[in-house]
Structure 1
């Protein structure tokens, strides 16, 4: 349960649908849930269990589920290889997504989806737009790039692998965990070290440890690129030769917070679920 000191405001939960769907599907990969028609319902089963757990344990006053749209996003248009190395979406997940959307709607929970933008961007926009005097915002996702969005009232609600427990990460904990001076440095961290899950290239030969060291010394990618004369040897060569790729990686890693979506916080008020529709 959340600590008493942060329970005096409305609780807005924003769920990253595909991140949780993939997590649910692969959690049962060795023992998939198969229904009487021979269909693999692992993703549906796991997602609904996760949703029920959140509703029961945290009792959010406001909630929404964000989905990636079909078709390319602005990142794919900018960088054709974005997420290209991922394996094709399993057919069982493709089959599950429309069902999960209908289930979410039966729970009277808004489904959010904006053409050209990922769920991260939609969640980032709503999280930053929410009135901090009225809401604590919980972004439910296992993805670390959300760390850039954290504030004292904006948290990552991160499911633990193989468990129903979670980690709650605000700006302070993100800074401690990654050795940053500000949460937005997560963007520069990913810009330097890259992110293999999203095919963000970063700077070749620069891992997390080196990226953190560089940010602690220079503060930002911009300052680093202005002062490469302070670097030595192979690292100096790598950074200078890949400066454009580093800047481009930073752009890819930046979660948008100005997505054109007309959603008011009160429209995300948790409603009563339609038990009959869910049973169907």
Structure 2
């Protein structure tokens, strides 16, 4: 079976940058190359170890997304991207182009929208799909042929999450219910408020009992 990897560029770039925050990689010209170094290590590592038959990388667009139209305060509390990361992006894209790896960046959409669409499409065509990211939002996409590939960090091993891992982590029957859990729980990093008074534990408990937000509302 063909094996395709889709990489969430910014999730991996930020992860790489902050992994070296206490000991940044500075080149002879005084440029902080932590993001470049860490991202390329992750990319080359997955190519060498996993030997994917297909691979592509998705970037977030700088344009506002449909989520901003629905909720103007979306990500409003996030700090500005560190200057060292912003300066690293063109170099990272140049290296990806030199390696002839396809890149996707769609105005109005985020990398996870692009990867989610591609993952479902390739899975329908019987590919084994791996979404390389540490972002828990991707758990809702996990399916029989779709896995989360969480890169190693600080000496830890790579984690591959399939349906059983998502079921255990979110206490759900199937991955699509992660949408309901996160809907109740909210996401402080994206400035998305959850239901008042409901945190992670209660959100999991309610979806475990009622199955969905719709069912919860109908029965309470």
Aligned residues: 220
Partner of 2:115: 123
Q: Normalising by structure 2, report the TM-score.
A: 0.96
Looking at CA atoms only, which structure, 1 or 2, has the larger radius of gyration?
1
Aligned to 2:85: 93
What is the match of residue 144 of structure 1? 136
Where do residues 9-28 of structure 1 align in structure 2 (5 Å cutoff)? 9-28=1-20
Long gaps (5+) in structure 2:
none
Q: Which residue of 2 aligns with 1:40?
A: 32
SS of the residue corresponding to residue 39 of structure 1 reads coil
Q: 2:209 aligns with which of 203, 217, 238?
A: 217
Residue 179 (str. 1) matches residue 154 (str. 2) = no
CA RMSD of aligned residues (A): 1.2
Q: Can you give the 5+ residue segments of structure 1 that lack an aligned partner in the other structure?
A: 1-8, 229-280
For 1:160 and 1:210, the matched residues in 2 are separated by 30
Q: Does structure 1 residue 162 correspond to structure 2 residue 175?
A: no
Structure 2 residue aligned with 1:204, among 180, 185, 196? 196
The answer for the alignment partner of 1:241 in structure 2 is none
Which deviations, in whole Å up to 9, do the C-alpha atoms of 1:99-147 show, x marking residues without a partner? Answer: 1111111111001111100000000000001144531000000011101
**SS in structure 2 at match of 1:15:** strand
Quote the Cα distance in structure 2 between the aligned partners of 1:163 and 1:116: 36
CA offset at residue 173 of structure 1? 1.7
Deviation string for 1:194-227 (max 9, x for gaps)?
Answer: 1112221111221111111111111100111112
Alpha-carbon separation, structure 1, partners of 2:124 and 2:70? 33
Runs of 4+ in 1 over 3 A off after TM superposition: 131-134
Deviations 1:45-98 (A, max 9, x none): 100111111011101100000000112111122212111211110011111111
Query: In the alignment, is the contact (CA less than 8 A) between 2:144 and 2:162 conserved in 1?
Result: yes
Secondary structure, aligned partner of 1:130? helix
